[in-house]
Structure 1
Amino acid sequence: MRPPAEPPTAEPRREALARRLARLIFDAKNTGWLAPVLAASLPAISLVLLTSLMAAAMGLALPLLTKQVIDQGIMARDMGALVNWSALSFLLGLASVGLGILNGMIHLRASARMLMDLRARVHDAAMRRDPAHPEMPLGEAMARLDGDSGEIQRFAFDTVLVAIGAIFRLVGGIVLMAMLDWRMVLLPLLIAPIELAFLSVARPKTQALAEEVRDQRGALSSTLAENLATRATLTAVGGMPAREGLFQQQQDTQITGLIRQRLWSETVGAVSQILSALTRAAILLIGGWLVVQGQWQLGTLIAYLAYATMMQGPLRNLLGLYHAQARSKVAVARLAQVFADARPDAGNTPPHAPQVLELIGLRAAGARHQPVDATLPMGARVLIDGPSGIGKTRLLSALTRAAPVEAGQALLDGAAIDAMQPSALCALILHLPQRPGILRGTIAMNLRLAAPDADEATMWLALEQADLAAWARSKAGLETDLAETGADLSGGMRQRLSLARAFLSRSPILIFDESFSEIDEPSTRRILQAIDAAFADRLRIFTAHNGPVREQAFDQRITLSSIAPLRRISSGDSPNQRENAREKAV
């Protein structure tokens, strides 16, 4: 007999519920990335929902207590009943206030955690961007990470709460109104279809204006990020007025878009308010006539008016969610693009201690050189040569899967690199670019990016090897503060700090991609000697257009060109001798 199937655990049920909620809330299919965020937040949402419903129940009871105060106390001239009903009403109101404060604190904590989770996932996806997709401008990425994440979090977290709470108050209000006089329930129910029809007509324009404003915000953020990043260059070339003019133009465009969006929002809101005012006026007119005729007591009219006002709030919330969904769908589509461009950090595990790197007809996408064939063993010193723009950096980036491959493949001990896990591959191949990234913080923090467990002695040794220790000692040592992007350092010092990280790395393959271009020649020679002494058993790949780097004796020299690449194996010839030999051969 087949064993009985095990019942699903709470976790898969929660995940399935979260996926259905994501599709329902955002009316979109590409929300799989949002389901884990919703699943993690469901317990907190349930708790907030419970306290919200308790507060709503108290709110529904207050008009009835007010009716009793008026009819049984004031109109009946019964002081005892007046005091009792007033005290009960006060205690219920006090409890409602306390519950509201508790609900607000729980809501804040839970919604903040949901936003943190969503931002973390979007950040992870943005950091794993597939090189095959175009680079997103920094400002646009920031706008999506911050603004769109916030828009989605607010709508996703509050939708369930608002919808269930509104339905609870709406049904409760209708029941209590029917208990007072069922005929008057028809008034607010007749207004609802009119308001829904209007919102359905207005919704497409709401979505279009939301898309327009978000695109404008992304363009403005991109321009601002570019201006700040290139401030020195803009000042030097006199380009600041043009950029300031562009920035001002984009600001004017965004302000115009915001005004148009706000005007439309106010128009939509005004229609709802006019319909609500008509409903209240009808209740006052008809209810007042019933009081005059003696069919209603005054307390009944006041309670009825209070319930009618209460119903309009939940009804407007439900109809407003339909409109707000249009704006949130824009944010979902923008973040879905971030997740679609992300590359999973998955693949085969690279060899722990590779012995050889092979290039077989390799050329990265966008490069202009002929495909490259080479066999590079560990311990070799290799120069990748060629004119600017030929594709040296893209070729080397393909070795870490940071650039897409157009032709051929690269192998580590016979295993294809393009099938390996990107993060594990980067642990084996360290690529030092010409413009290294320096983070705001201390020297120690920047060094520990490469070796989180490095002690002070090890970091000082790395600074010595990178010819940077004397400068660090003249400052605050390892605790010297560095500005964002290393803006307070010269180009050569930034490169030397990057090289110090390399000395802390355990990667068996090191790529020095124009990593000495801004370092003076005496320092470059000392650092190269330290590299040979520390990394004699590792594969060292260099690119350089001039300077001491080219004076080294390379085991292999691969020249990229638009014709078949030239490769010479040499352990002693100087670069000048090899260049002369190549020129004679040509």
Structure 2
Amino acid sequence: MSTSTLAVARGATPGAGDAVPPARRVKSLSGLLPFLRPYRGRIALALLFLLLAAAATLVLPVALKSLIDDGLVGSGPGAQLMALRGHFLALFAVGAALGVFSAARFYMVSWIGERVTADLRNAVYAHVVRQSPEFFETTQTGEVLSRLTTDTTLVQTVVGSSLSLGLRNTVMGLGALGMLVVTNPWVMSQVLGILVLVVLPSLYVGRRVRRLSRASQDRVADTSAIAAEVLGAIPVVQSYTQEAREAQRFARATEAAFEVARRRTRVRSLLVAFMITATFGALLWGLYQGTQAVLAGRISAGHLGQTVVYVIILVGSIAVLSEVYGDLLRAAGATERLMELLAARSPVAEPAQPVPLPPSRGGAAVTLSHVTFHYPSRPQVAALADFTLDVRPGETVALVGPSGAGKSTVFQLLLRFYDAQQGTVAIDGVPVGAVALHELRRRIGIVPQDSVIFSADAMDNIRYGRPDASDDEVVAAARAAFAHDFITALPDGYRTFLGERGVRLSGGQRQRIAIARAMLKNPPLLLLDEATSALDAESERVVQAALEAAMADRTTIVIAHRLATVQRADRIVVMDGGRIVDSGTHAELVARGGLYARLAAMQFGRDG
């Protein structure tokens, strides 16, 4: 799907979501060459078997001519019987060779197809997971999944089957045509002239089939995007009783995909019918001329039989090639879509010469100096405007303020999910843009507001913070996050499967798993984004105590709307409209009577 088409499908301005400039869009299957190149030896072997199988097929008519002219004509009964045995043995040998070479060709091309598809799928997935969040602002997850599944399956069909069939039938068709030209030069010169008239309109119609094939894949991707979005929000869909509406929306997308596929199939069917009918008519004309030559005594019966078989091979090859041509057109569209993903370049790039971070002692120093930042999807609104913040090693700083004040944006810039348009963001005195992404993010632990739980057991979910951690270290982190008791109460303890997105846990339990994951990582900089928002009062107290213990000897930045969780911070920074409007301790801010005092009065008054 072209990115401009994606933008239109999502209701955006055409071109606004373009991830790949038009000049870089891949227009053919040549995008697969880098994935085929490592298997040159196997491809050469597959081509050898293909040629041998085609050669065996082309030898059959010659053997048949010999059988008719030498085995059935002109000899006595005894000599005929011996000659027939020899000819039939020769035919069997040719058939056996054809079977062996065809089987070898099938295995080799099938292996290549499976291997290339797996490599392509891995490459696309590995590339996509390295994209910055800006990429996912303009690209739906369901569309990416469609490209990883449907499109790669089409490529597999072509590389592992259709391409081989096309090459084999091309060789056999050209071989049969060559033999017909050699044995019947005058007649076949007429036939070739007719075939040229067949090919030219076929190429024109083929381009239309390719466009419709691409459009068909786009519509299928739309259905995948809808399904991924809705299935990921089933509780919301069902709580608002929108099941029927979502089913209708999916059905409309499916019908749109069917309609484009129907148009593609209709055009492709007309193309196949035209090619086969015109080719068959041209070759029948050649056969008619051949029968006249036999009657006139200019050629033998065996010669005519040989010609008939070559005509059958040629017509069959053209019929297969017309089908393969349609498959190639569909795969070309799928390849373009996959290459678009691979060509996408994240605006957050690794530095050419990374600067190492100095050793961390007692936490990390954080500096944001005169930072101005606009999200790519909201270029007119500054999320941060001339924002300056210094956090000392080991200090705990709380960011508070109304929604949209820019608190979470500070975290996004520290993790370098985005780059600021102006100003400097630095950790331990080194600008984050100069540090290798892996080293930068290795020093930062984050507990997000919406805890992410993977489809794995509790042990693996916590170990995600540090994959090389031992079981004892995982349990220690769970104890520190007050998650040990509820985990051991699960049916299989730490080996209990938590379900997709942690559906078997409560919100507070998911949050404690996320906190344990961050504690296990043990980073010098800890980012807490509403880390206790999903906990009840009792759980919040125990987890808050665990968090305070985890904050020791490290720098911590806390985002919290519940001001009770930040009162003991070393410093509270009040934000509004992407700027710092006040700073101080809880008592100082309340005494000054500004925005923080109003927020505190509303919240504590309400809580009381």
TM-score, normalising length: structure 1: 0.87
Q: Which residue of 1 aligns with 2:558?
A: 542
1:322 deviates by 6.3
Q: Distance in 1 between matches of 2:579 and 2:195?
A: 75
Q: Distance in 2 between matches of 1:157 and 1:266?
A: 23
Q: Which residue of 1 aligns with 2:58?
A: 60
Q: Distance in 1 between matches of 2:284 and 2:31?
A: 48
Q: Which residue of 1 aligns with 2:67?
A: 69
Secondary structure in structure 2 of the residue aligned to 1:482 = coil
Q: Is the 8 A contact 1:209 1:257 kept in 2?
A: yes
| 1:37 maps to 2:35 | yes
Q: Which residue of 1 aligns with 2:116?
A: 114
Distance 1:248 1:168, change over 3 A: closer
Equivalent of 1:244 in 243, 247, 255: 247
Q: Is the 8 A contact 1:68 1:299 kept in 2?
A: yes
Higher alpha-carbon deviation: 72-81 or 222-231: 72-81
Secondary structure in structure 2 of the residue aligned to 1:370 = strand
Higher alpha-carbon deviation: 69-78 or 140-149: 69-78
Q: Which residue of 2 aligns with 1:140?
A: 143
Q: Which residue of 1 aligns with 2:519?
A: 503
Matches within 5 A, 1:82-161: 82-133=84-135, 134-155=137-158, 161=164
Tell me the alpha carbon deviations over residues 129-172 of structure 1, each in whole angstroms, 9 at most, x when there is no partner. Answer: 23444341111111112222333455467787566545543443
1:374 deviates by 1.3
Matches within 5 A, 1:464-503: 464-475=479-490, 476-503=492-519
Equivalent of 1:351 in 354, 357, 360: 357
Tell me the alpha carbon deviations over residues 230-259 of structure 1, each in whole angstroms, 9 at most, x when there is no partner. Answer: 111011112222212111111122122221
Higher alpha-carbon deviation: 476-485 or 445-454: 445-454
Equivalent of 1:522 in 538, 548, 559: 538
Q: Distance in 1 between matches of 2:28 and 2:269?
A: 31
1:513 deviates by 1.0
Q: CA RMSD in A?
A: 2.8
Distance 1:170 1:30, change over 3 A: closer
1:579 deviates by 3.3
1:39 deviates by 1.8
Q: For residue 56 of structure 1, what is the amino acid of its counterpart?
A: A
Distance 1:564 1:390, change over 3 A: closer
Q: Distance in 1 between matches of 2:88 and 2:596?
A: 107
Tell me the alpha carbon deviations over residues 166-211 of structure 1, each in whole angstroms, 9 at most, x when there is no partner. Answer: 5543443244334433233325422331222112221332122123
Q: For residue 357 of structure 1, what is the amino acid of its counterpart?
A: V
Distance 1:483 1:534, change over 3 A: same
Tell me the alpha carbon deviations over residues 386-435 of structure 1, each in whole angstroms, 9 at most, x when there is no partner. Answer: 11122222221111111342332201232211233223222112232211
Distance 1:377 1:292, change over 3 A: same
Count residues with an aligned counterpart.
Answer: 556
Q: Percent identity?
A: 23
Q: Which residue of 2 aligns with 1:341?
A: 344
Distance 1:253 1:164, change over 3 A: closer
Tell me the alpha carbon deviations over residues 39-88 of structure 1, each in whole angstroms, 9 at most, x when there is no partner. Answer: 22322211211111111111111111122222222344611111111111
Q: Distance in 2 between matches of 1:280 and 1:563?
A: 77
Higher alpha-carbon deviation: 148-157 or 318-327: 318-327
Equivalent of 1:463 in 460, 473, 478: 478
Tell me the alpha carbon deviations over residues 533-574 of structure 1, each in whole angstroms, 9 at most, x when there is no partner. Answer: 2341111111111165234x112222211274134344xxxx
Higher alpha-carbon deviation: 389-398 or 320-329: 320-329
Q: Which residue of 1 aligns with 2:263?
A: 260
Q: Distance in 2 between matches of 1:328 and 1:442?
A: 39
Q: Distance in 1 between matches of 2:264 and 2:449?
A: 45
Distance 1:113 1:73, change over 3 A: same
Distance 1:533 1:334, change over 3 A: same
Q: Which residue of 2 aligns with 1:376?
A: 391
Q: For residue 71 of structure 1, what is the amino acid of its counterpart?
A: D
Q: Distance in 2 between matches of 1:425 and 1:156?
A: 41
Q: Distance in 2 between matches of 1:111 and 1:98?
A: 20
Q: Distance in 2 between matches of 1:498 and 1:346?
A: 27
Secondary structure in structure 2 of the residue aligned to 1:452 = coil
Q: Distance in 1 between matches of 2:419 and 2:577?
A: 19
Higher alpha-carbon deviation: 208-217 or 342-351: 342-351
Q: For residue 212 of structure 1, what is the amino acid of its counterpart?
A: A
Q: Distance in 2 between matches of 1:109 and 1:267?
A: 33
Secondary structure in structure 1 of the residue aligned to 2:421 = strand
Distance 1:291 1:494, change over 3 A: same
